[in-house]
Amino acid sequence: MKRVLVFLVLLSSGFLSAQSQKPSKAFKNLVEIMQGHYTSELQSKKDSTYFNISLRMTPIWKSKGAFLYVEQAMASKQDKPYRVRIYKLSERPDGKIVSEIYTLKDEKAWIGKYTDPTLFDALSEADLELKSGCEVVLERVSKNTFRGSTGEKSCPSELRGASYATSKVTVTKNSILSWDQGFDAAGKQVWGAEKGGYEFLKVN
């Protein structure tokens, strides 16, 4: 029964349906530049309050639309990522681009599989769960530059006493600036970087 409910949630979110409009140049541009391996090594060397983090975004399911398999890990422990996700990118009629976030029920089974994206063909929609309210809405602000965020309090979080989480993202051709923060019910920050976002530079 639970698998059926998950399937219906994914269907209602548009997961199984193709993008109705022809992808714009901006949309294709964003999908292309997001792909790759990034690290925050340079930032961590400049400021010890930031960790050296590895971020990998690998395209999967190309026949279904724009999907990215994502792993985020300490650079020294890339075989043990602390965040495993699938992003679904779609374009709204107003030109804004939505990145929906999905978790994997058995994420350990997929760690490291980015080396062969065809392996994800065995993954079904029922193996995923949508993080409702945590989608990031992005706008193109200039050539090869996109900026966006989650809703102000739309993304629920229980991590370290949080009530909700926010994400602010800027994507360029060779970098991603990502600022994730968690806040309690009173609006006090309880996790995440305090001074600014993580600066991920593209390695390849």
| pTM attached to this predicted model | 0.89
Strand partners for 87: 68, 101
Tens-binned pLDDT, residue by residue, of the chain (204 aa): 444 444 444 544 455 554 556 899 999 999 999 999 999 999 999 999 999 999 999 999 988 999 999 999 999 999 999 999 999 999 999 999 999 999 999 999 999 999 999 999 999 888 999 999 999 999 999 989 999 999 999 999 999 999 999 999 999 999 999 999 999 999 999 999 999 999 999 999
Q: What is the DSSP string of 109-171?
A: GGTTGGGSGGGGGG--GGGEEE-TT--EEEEEEETTEEEEE--SS-EE--GGG-SEEEEEEEE
DSSP state of 178: E
Which DSSP helix (H) or strand (E) runs through 195? none
- Coil/strand/helix, residue 41: helix
Residue 21 CA to residue 93 CA, distance in Å, equals 8
